[in-house]
Structure 1
Amino acid sequence: MRLLHTYHFRDGFTLVELLVTLAVFTFVIGIIYATYSMGIFMWKTTETKLWTVQEARMSLERIIRESRGAKQGSVKIVSSGFEFENIEGEKISFEKSGDRILRKVNNTGNNIVATNVKDFKIESAGTSYRVEIVFNNDYTVSGIFTPRNK
């Protein structure tokens, strides 16, 4: 009689193979999650910066555009901002209140021009005026205007 050798191959994984595969899979998923989280964080940071820059430019443009319509010699610098009289005889003021810049007409109304403001300055430079706005995240915008109406 001949002896037949039959080999039975085991199908499946050993415990060590399973643990190594699980460790590699966890490592790959961790790298993917970290990359995704970093991307989301950078996107939010960039979006916040862009919003601040846009608000800063729009605020400064509004202040300068309206201030150009001031009567010459009517611009008065006060502690929290400045005021002037326009061609229609309205007294318009821009002043910092808390972390906002407010616009008032004849000392009434509180139209918000800018938010998250750290500092608001105006300086006289001969017949022109220099306006500077510093925002809470240390972004600064500045511009110069000259009253055009007599």
Structure 2
Amino acid sequence: MAGKRAGFTLVEVVVAVTVFVLALSGALALYLQESRVFKDTEARVEVQEHARIALDRVVRELRTAKEVNEVRATSVTFTLEDGSRVRYYHDATRQQLMREKNGGVNPVASYVRDLRFSGELMGATGDLLIRITLAAGMGEDQTFTLTTSVLVR
């Protein structure tokens, strides 16, 4: 037995490499899946955050409006204390919430699928209750809806 060499046979090496490659492939597939889920979640959270900020901006400006000029199903137009006219509307082609002020137009939020406004006069006070519904999302199964109301005096 003194002449026998120590080491691995070719079959043992091939089996060991195959097992190692399968284990490494499984780990890589799991990593890639988790990475994709993380990116999707991060994008969804970003869209929700931007939609909330945009809706807060609309509400804040409406509360400080001197006069509400027009409430339509997909837009609202009002006058600020400084006399400038502001219009918020949905650009369905670009899927954006747009803000128009004195002729200048700027996007406020992206991935906006739908934007709805409705106005209702509140009894003898003459106050106007405006309901705003904003639906946003990146994918078909990732749409969420934010709804709020603003009482304009």
TM-score grouping bracket, smaller chain normalisation: 0.7 to 0.9
Q: Measure, in 1, the Cα distance between the counterparts of 2:150 and 2:30.
A: 47
Query: Alpha-carbon deviations, 1:86-126, whole Å to 9, x = none?
Result: 222222110112311211123x1012111111111001243
Q: Measure, in 2, the Cα distance between the counterparts of 1:125 and 1:30.
A: 61
TM-score, normalised on structure 1? 0.85
Q: Measure, in 2, the Cα distance between the counterparts of 1:118 and 1:75.
A: 25
Higher relative contact order (CA 8 A, sep 6+): 1
Superposition pairs for residues 1-150 of structure 1, below 5 Å?
7-72=2-67, 74-97=68-91, 98=93, 99-106=95-102, 108-126=103-121, 127-137=128-138, 138-148=143-153
How many pairs were matched up?
141
Moved over 3 A (4+): none
Q: Equivalent residue of 1:48, what SS? A: helix
Q: Give the deviation of 1:79 after TM superposition.
A: 5.0
Structure 1, unaligned runs of 5 or more: 1-5
Structure 2, unaligned runs of 5 or more: 122-127
Q: Measure, in 2, the Cα distance between the counterparts of 1:35 and 1:75.
A: 55
Higher strand share: 2
Q: Percent identity?
A: 26
Structure number with larger C-alpha Rg: 1
Q: Measure, in 1, the Cα distance between the counterparts of 2:120 and 2:33.
A: 46
